[in-house]
Amino acid sequence: MRIGMGYDVHRLVDDRELIIGGVQIPYKKGLLGHSDADVLLHAIMDALLGAAALGDIGKHFPDTKEEYKGISSVDLLKAVSALLEDNLYIIENIDATIIAQQPKMLPYIEKMRQTIAETLHISVEQVNIKATTEEGLGFTGSSEGISAHAVCLLNEVTNYIYDDRMTQRGQCSGCNGCMGCRKES
């Protein structure tokens, strides 16, 4: 099992949409960034990439590349999901916290969980999202920005134990037929 941790922060500014967890939230300001500046998805992607020892989102999606300007972080999360699959990792769970004084996140959390789960092809029960304020303290407390923390647990496909019936059907257990077995040989 592998554990990953991610953190992201973006400044709140006028004339931007507020998108968090892949959900557009009606609010007078949005987050400033090269992409859509979705702090929650950025923290989750960094946690996933970190657990797999694959670097971070800056490595894979640099803000110096025009192709990522204004891109949806859901699309970036899909790319991270593909990287995990290519490297034979399975997501066990994600736990994340959004830190924002305003707006209130509670009405949007279930939609965020669904969006993340669908994008990563996992169950919504594997995704937990919480939100908190900082009681008026710091840059998030003064509504200058929003931040997010995320942790995740990954497992390698090869760590799953399969019975003999699966080996007979050409699945894992050293069969050389699946991606996991081909990578080991």
User: What b/e string do you get for 31-63 counting C-beta neighbours within 10 Å, with b at 16 or more?
Assistant: bebebbbbbbbbbbbbbbbbbbebeebeeebee
Q: Is 101 annotated as a binding residue?
A: yes
Q: Is 168 annotated as a binding residue?
A: no
Q: Is 132 annotated as a binding residue?
A: yes
Q: Is 142 annotated as a binding residue?
A: no
Q: Is 135 annotated as a binding residue?
A: yes
Q: Is 106 annotated as a binding residue?
A: yes
With a CB cutoff of 8 Å and minimum separation 6, the contacts of 18 are 12, 24, 25, 26, 27, 29, 30, 31, 103
Q: Is 20 annotated as a binding residue?
A: no
Q: Is 58 annotated as a binding residue?
A: yes
Q: Is 9 annotated as a binding residue?
A: yes
Q: Is 64 annotated as a binding residue?
A: no
Q: Is 62 annotated as a binding residue?
A: no
Residues flagged as binding site: 8-10, 34-35, 42, 56-58, 100-106, 132-135, 139
Residues flagged as binding site for a divalent metal cation: 8, 10, 42
